[in-house]
């Protein structure tokens, strides 16, 4: 008998992640590792509607493709749904490995639903898994964050999801690591598990090779550097600036910290960014309150640094996106309005805003739990957590807590373990009041750990909002969050924001929002200027007069006149039927906010192509 023996089937690995409009960058690099190991790879990105995730296509793909291993990338907030899917996949006879942020910090929960759990960086552990060297269980590679990145295999995702391939904006990593201690972030825990902070900058040669590989196959007009702090090391920036523009010739957008803009070295860094082709910066401000930045968020940035740093960026012709969080512990409407006011004075290209998700295991999660603001149980942080605050808030915002904290005399820049709020606990009395106790800490000279220093002491009381007032503030912060990017452009934004946030439930309608805004602007810029804007908006929509504007646009034109190509944005809103009868004002604002952000992304934030200037300039 003669013939050719069939070739052995290559082993197969399937990644599972949540679908976002932003490509899953980490999986690109992990797919590159599998390619280099001779494994075939598929990626399934799971769509969702609200909190309902569509895992059916995943199960079908597993039946058809029969992978040897399925790997889930899990983020906190959709972990419960993923755990159910992991159980189904294992029930199909396929072993499961879980990685990603949730696996890094909540590995004990993950291992109940997986054969392997990978904490933190996973290139080496992935290789060990597929080569059979890794026993089942929880694994952590102490040196994983220093490992060399493989050349990513983007074709796996781009072939299956061509809309991601078509995007002219592609994401890359130039570095890994962040030395800062923001309370809402897991970076401090990540550093602690690795024995301290370390910064891993990829060689410029690698970045150039990766970018040229993208240019060869797919559209590439802008690289978005997803680093926490791009350009942290100035010597690296100098080499990058010399070579990137000459050898790649693609502009880029980067995320940095404001601290990197200060002093003359900050000017030098920004000049080098500009020389290399940087057209825009994203950075976080988080709060307009110094107390909040120092004591609640551990972002020790004075206001003059924020204003100066933002001015340095924008004066170089770069676009600027700021990021902030509303409804954090001890905030109230006035605190949130101070954040709006600070952005109003900065006037960034985009003022992005979210509501706090108090992840358990972070310092802000500890603060929330200690004060009875939230259970900090990650299991209730599903999609809807980002749609309205889930916290119980105190009465008076920082009124009661600020004097307690400042009286202790602890430097705002002291280590997080010594900060007052993480060492306080509220013990609720009958009713709305609670006694606040403080436990001092000190560093043990032998172990280097922080231990109790003396007895716990009572330092004051706080009052909680009742249910009705708490719901009212949750609604107010939600309103500001949805309108934040637009409001930040308005003259005297704080005043208008307060008025809109305080509208009654019955008044909270699209038309009434427009009426209130018109009344506000008439006082600020005059009726003649508003008439000019209406005529200009009608012209951009190819209409002969403002009378021909569609009714929803006529009711609230100001949402569109403060953005470049505002007429096009208004037409997009009409085309997508965001004012349809099935939408209430919440749905309308959600969709207009999303459209506005996406509209800004391409033309103004990332500067792809040209855009008409905003109709309104003040």
* Whether pLDDT at 182 is above 50: yes
pLDDT of residue 384: 54
Architecture of domain 167-463: Alpha-Beta Horseshoe (3.80)
CA 455 from chain centre, in angstroms, equals 40
Q: Are the CB atoms for 160 and 43 separated by under 8 Å?
A: yes
- Encoding tokens for residue 166? 């078509």
Please tell me the distance from the alpha carbon of residue 612 to that of residue 567, in angstroms, as a whole number.
Answer: 10
Q: Which helix (H) or strand (E) holds 463?
A: strand 457-463
Q: What is the pLDDT of residues 83-127, one digit of tens each?
A: 999 999 999 999 999 999 999 999 999 999 999 999 988 888 999
| Predicted confidence (pLDDT) at residue 4 exceeds the cutoff of 70 | no
Say how far apart CA 275 and CA 87 lie, in whole Å: 51
Q: Which residues contact 275 (CB under 8 A, 6 or more apart)?
A: 241, 245
For residue 252, count other CB atoms closer than 10 A to its CB.
24
Structure token digits, residue 286: 């988080």
Q: Are 481 and 357 in contact (CB under 8 A)?
A: no
The three-point CA angle 415-419-423 to 5° equals 130
Mind listing the pLDDT tens digit for each residue in 510-547?
999 999 999 999 999 999 999 999 999 999 999 999 99
Q: Reply yes or no on domain 12-146 having CATH 3.40.50.280.
A: yes
Q: How far apart are CA 160 and CA 158, in angstroms?
A: 5
> Whole-angstrom Cα distance, residue 144 to residue 121?
5
State the span(s) of the chain assigned CATH 3.40.50.280. Answer: 12-146
What is the pLDDT at residue 282?
97
Angle at which helices 303-315 and 263-276 pack, to 10 degrees?
A: 30
Q: Please give the Cα distance from 536 to 561 (Å, whole number).
A: 9
Tokens of 79: 């972990």
H-helix or E-strand spanning residue 21: none
CA-based end-to-end distance of the chain:
86
Question: Which pLDDT value is given to residue 523?
Answer: 97
**What is the model's pLDDT at position 5?**
45
Category of 235 on φ-ψ map: left (φ > 0), alpha (ψ -120 to 50) or beta: alpha
* Torsion from C-alpha of 79, 83, 84, 89, nearest 10 degrees: 130
| Pair of tokens at residue 214 | 């993208």
Bridge partners (DSSP) listed for residue 14: 42, 70
**Given this model, what pLDDT does residue 1 score?**
43
Confidence bin at 8 (pLDDT 50/70/90): low
Contact call for residues 200 and 149 (beta carbons, < 8 A): no
Token pair listed for 480: 């500001």
Report the mean per-residue pLDDT for the chain. 93
Half-sphere exposure of 382 (CA within 13 A, CB side): 12
Contact 80, 107 (CB under 8 A): no
d(CA 482, CA 428): 33
Report the phi/psi class of residue 564: left, alpha or beta, with left for phi > 0 and alpha for psi in -120 to 50.
beta
Give mean pLDDT, residues 39-51.
89
Residue 486: which H helix or E strand, with range?
Answer: helix 467-487
CA distance 156 to 30: 11
CB 226 within 8 A of CB 178: no
Model confidence over 414-430: pLDDT tens digits?
999 999 999 999 999 98
- The CATH 3.80.30.20 portion of the chain extends over 167-463
pLDDT for 403 equals 97
Among 4-8, 214-218, 334-338, the range scoring the smallest mean pLDDT is: 4-8
Residue 69 has pLDDT above 80, yes or no: yes
pLDDT above 70 as % of the chain: 98
How confident is the model over 185-195, as a mean pLDDT? Answer: 90
- Lateral strand order in the sheet of 12-18: 40-46, 12-18, 69-73, 96-99, 116-119, 137-140
Report the Cα 439 to chain-centroid distance in Å: 33
Specify the DSSP element, H or E, that contains 101.
Answer: helix 101-105
DSSP line for 223-283:
EEE--SSTT-SHHHHHHHHHHHHHHT--EEEEE--GGGGSHHHHHHHHHHHHHHTEEEEEE
Radius of gyration for the chain, computed over Cα atoms and rounded to the nearest angstrom = 26
Confidence of residue 49 (pLDDT cuts 50, 70, 90): confident
Q: What pLDDT, on a 0 to 100 scale, did the predictor assign at position 611? A: 83
Q: What is the pLDDT of residues 142-178, one digit of tens each?
A: 887 888 899 999 999 999 999 999 999 999 999 999 9
Say what the pLDDT of residue 603 is: 78
Q: Which of 330, 592, 377, 371 is nearest to 473 (CA)?
A: 330
Q: Is the pLDDT assigned to residue 468 strictly greater than 80?
A: yes
Report the C-alpha gap between 273 and 169 in whole angstroms: 18
pLDDT at 313: 98
Q: How far apart are CA 112 and CA 107, in angstroms?
A: 9
CB neighbour class for 463 (10 Å; exposed up to 12, middle 13-18, buried from 19): middle
Tell me what the mean pLDDT of segment 247-272 comes to: 97
Phi-psi bin for 508: left (phi > 0), alpha (psi -120 to 50), beta? beta
Q: Which residues of 549-585 are buried (b: 16+ CB within 10 A; e: fewer)?
A: beebbbbbbbbbbbbbbbbbbbbbbeeeebbeeeeee
Q: What is the pLDDT of residue 376?
A: 73
pLDDT in tens, 538-573: 999 999 999 999 999 999 999 999 999 999 999 999
Instruction: Please give the C-alpha separations between residue 325 and each of 189, 338, 398, 483, 493, in angstroms, as whole numbers.
Output: 21, 12, 16, 13, 17
């Amino acid at each position: 008998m003669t013939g050719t023996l069939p070739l052995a089937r290559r082993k197969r690995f399937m990644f599972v992640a949540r679908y976002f409009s932003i490509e899953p960058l980490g999986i690109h690099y992990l797919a590159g590792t599998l390619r280099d190991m001779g494994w075939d790879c598929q990626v399934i990105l799971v769509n969702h509607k609200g909190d309902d995730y569509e895992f059916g296509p995943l199960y079908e793909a597993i039946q058809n493709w029969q992978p040897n291993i399925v790997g889930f990338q899990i983020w906190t907030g959709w972990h419960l749904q993923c755990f159910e899917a992991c159980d189904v996949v294992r029930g199909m006879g396929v072993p499961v490995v879980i990685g990603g942020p949730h696996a890094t910090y909540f590995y004990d929960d993950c291992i109940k639903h997986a054969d392997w759990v990978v904490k933190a960086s996973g290139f080496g552990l992935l290789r060990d898994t597929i080569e059979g060297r890794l026993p089942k269980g929880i694994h952590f590679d102490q040196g994983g964050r220093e490992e060399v990145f493989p050349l990513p295999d983007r074709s796996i995702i781009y072939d299956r999801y061509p809309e991601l391939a078509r995007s002219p904006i592609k994401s890359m990593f130039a570095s890994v690591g962040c030395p800062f201690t923001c309370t809402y972030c897991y970076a401090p825990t990540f550093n602690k598990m690795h024995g301290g902070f370390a910064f891993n900058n990829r060689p410029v040669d690698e970045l150039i090779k990766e970018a040229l590989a993208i240019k060869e196959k797919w559209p590439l007009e802008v690289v978005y550097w997803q680093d926490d702090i791009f350009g942290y090391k100035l010597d690296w920036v100098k080499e990058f600036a010399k070579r990137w523009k000459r050898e790649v010739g693609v502009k880029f957008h980067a995320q940095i910290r404001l601290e990197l803009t200060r002093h003359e070295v900050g000017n030098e860094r920004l000049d080098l960014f500009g020389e290399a082709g940087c057209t825009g910066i994203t950075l976080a401000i988080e709060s307009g309150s110094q107390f909040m930045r120092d004591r609640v968020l551990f972002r020790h940035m004075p206001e003059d640094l924020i204003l100066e740093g933002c001015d340095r960026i924008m004066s170089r012709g770069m676009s600027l996106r700021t990021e902030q969080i509303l409804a954090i512990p001890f905030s109230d409407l006035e605190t949130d309005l101070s954040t709006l006011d600070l952005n109003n004075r900065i006037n960034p290209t985009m003022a992005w805003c979210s509501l706090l998700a108090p992840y358990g295991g972070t310092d802000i999660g500890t603060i929330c739990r200690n004060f009875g603001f939230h259970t900090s149980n990650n299991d209730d942080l599903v999609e809807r957590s980002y749609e309205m605050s889930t916290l119980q808030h105190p009465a008076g915002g920082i009124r009661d807590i600020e004097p307690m904290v400042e009286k202790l005399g602890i430097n705002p820049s002291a280590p997080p373990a010594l900060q007052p709020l993480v060492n306080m606990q509220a013990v609720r009395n009958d009713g709305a009041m609670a006694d606040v106790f403080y436990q001092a800490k000190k560093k043990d000279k032998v172990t280097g750990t922080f231990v109790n220093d003396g007895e716990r002491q009572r330092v004051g009381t706080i009052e909680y909002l009742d249910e009705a007032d708490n719901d009212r503030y949750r609604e107010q912060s939600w309103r500001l969050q949805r309108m934040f990017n637009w409001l930040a452009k308005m003259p005297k934004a704080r005043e208008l924001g307060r008025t809109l946030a305080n509208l009654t439930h019955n008044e909270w309608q699209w038309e009434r929002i427009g009426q209130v805004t018109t009344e506000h602007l008439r006082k600020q810029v005059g009726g003649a200027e508003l008439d000019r804007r209406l005529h200009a908006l009608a012209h951009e929509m190819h209409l002969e007069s403002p009378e021909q504007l569609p009714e929803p646009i006529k009711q609230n034109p100001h949402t569109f006149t403060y953005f470049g190509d505002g007429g096009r944005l208004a037409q997009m809103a009409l085309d997508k039927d965001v004012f349809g009868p099935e939408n209430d004002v919440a749905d309308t604002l959600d969709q207009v906010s999303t459209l506005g952000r996406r509209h800004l992304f391409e033309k103004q934030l990332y500067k792809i192509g040209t855009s008409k200037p905003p109709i309104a300039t003040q």
